[in-house]
Amino acid sequence: MTAPVKPMPTPLEFERQLLRFINGTVLGGTANIDRDTRLFEDGYMNSLRILDLIAAVEKSLGKRVPDRAVRLANFRTVGTIVSVFHPDATTAVPDVPSTRDVVFERRGERSRFASPIDALVKRGDLRLTSAGQVALSGLALRVFHAIDRTVARWARELGAAERRYPSMIDRAVLERAGRVDHLTLVTPSERSDSKAATAPLGVTTVLAPAVCYHTYPELEGMTLGPDAEVLTAVGRCYRHEDGQYVPLERLWDFTMREIIILGARDQVEAQRQSLVRQVGELVTLLELDGSVEPATDPFFAAGDEGRRLMQQAGALKHELRLAVDATGRTIAAASFNHHHDYFGTRFAIKLMSGVPAHSGCVAFGLERWVLAVLAQHGVNEHDWPAPGRAWLADASPGARA
């Protein structure tokens, strides 16, 4: 005899089930949220809890939650979840993806865009030194320095302490950070062949895939004060992603300037959003074509579904995407990341209250900025808009800091 099909709860019953589940099972009685409590923005969700929450929604309604529907707009509160996913409360989740939740957008005249690579190579401002590597000089290097100095100034205004980290990092640090994909080891013989190899098991030191991974072991075991801890560093980073490379756009050996923030959730989020606004102002000043929009991230290991969905639903990562050709194709030139308490927990970095610190980082791919600026404005700076020429002159080495 087959078991009777369990009837779908009414919208009110569904709401009560979710509240009991979150307050009792997920939060263990430590909080008493209601239908209007902000689940992500007020810090009640993490990468494990979101999996449990999605599973509870699916079990109650007897249907799968589509991956494309896991967005902050659909999971902000229990009331939102009921109205979006219960078929009797509102229309069902549409079968087509939602429009982008764009935070900032500026469009330029794309008809004049052109790849700067050949022109830069011809006049010696760009040398393709090896597979996945480039050398810069002339205008390309000036743009590189200008964006780095601009971001470094923003970091100083936040009270950031400057750091200089090595290119190599202990593999065990990345394992604790949950980032063990695409680890790269380059040996002398491999350098001569212009090839990079994935680091084999047993290798204890690898090339760092991002600057901020050096920060967490530096602060390990610390209890932070009442103010956020802010650091900044520029460094070489290495990612050998399926062996693919494109000059200036996808390199194995590239440069990142990062601003790293640790503190309470509100402190991290406030500074992250402040930097989003400053980047939007810079894009507007330079008359660039670009947008800031939500994204999911390789900060966490591939296959870690909970952290990926947490980032997707919590709007914890945004990217600045700059156009690089007349078709409107874009590349990610900066990312704005809120890691929640993930690294604080893994590296025992705490607040004065004893809870794990939140962390975030804002990262700028300097070579990608070079590509986007020169693709949009050309390799003759005299043809640039006046604000761009002034920015380049003011932020170049030798200018007043």
Domains along the sequence of the chain with CATH:
11-85 (1.10.1200.10), 104-395 (3.30.930.10)
C-beta atoms surrounding 124 within 10 Å: 11
One-letter amino acid at 210 equals: A
Distance CA 181, CA 198 (A): 9
Check: CB of residue 264 under 8 Å from CB of residue 338.
Answer: no
189: which 2 tokens? 């013989």
Distance CA 184, CA 310 (A): 27
Least confident residue range of 67-71, 95-99, 141-145, 292-296: 95-99
Q: Quick: pLDDT tens for 352-394.
A: 999 999 999 999 999 999 999 999 999 999 999 999 999 999 9
Q: Quick: pLDDT tens for 46-84.
A: 767 888 898 999 999 999 988 778 877 788 899 999 999
pLDDT of residue 5: 63
One-letter amino acid at 88 equals: D
> When comparing pLDDT for 351 and 310, which is higher?
351
DSSP 330-377: EEEEEEEEEEETHHHHHTT-B-TTSSBPEEEEEEEEHHHHHHHHHHHH
Q: Quick: pLDDT tens for 240-292.
A: 766 778 999 999 999 999 999 999 988 998 999 999 999 999 999 999 999 99
pLDDT of residue 372: 98
pLDDT of residue 195: 42
Query: How does residue 112 score in pLDDT terms, banded at 50, 70 and 90?
Result: confident
Q: What's the mean per-residue pLDDT of the chain? A: 86
Which residues are within 8 A (CB) of 318 and not within 5 positions of it... i.e. 6 or more apart?
Answer: 103, 276, 292, 293, 294, 295, 335, 336
Distance CA 394, CA 401 (A): 8
pLDDT of residue 43: 73
**How long is the chain?**
401
Mean predicted confidence (pLDDT) in 289-316: 66
Q: How far is CA 361 from CA 11, 40, 231, in A?
A: 39, 18, 9
pLDDT of residue 310: 66
SS3 state at 248: coil
> When comparing pLDDT for 125 and 65, which is higher?
125
Q: Quick: pLDDT tens for 158-217.
A: 999 999 999 999 989 988 887 765 555 544 334 434 444 455 555 688 999 999 999 999
Say what percent of the chain tops pLDDT 70: 83
**pTM given for the model:** 0.79
pLDDT of residue 265: 87
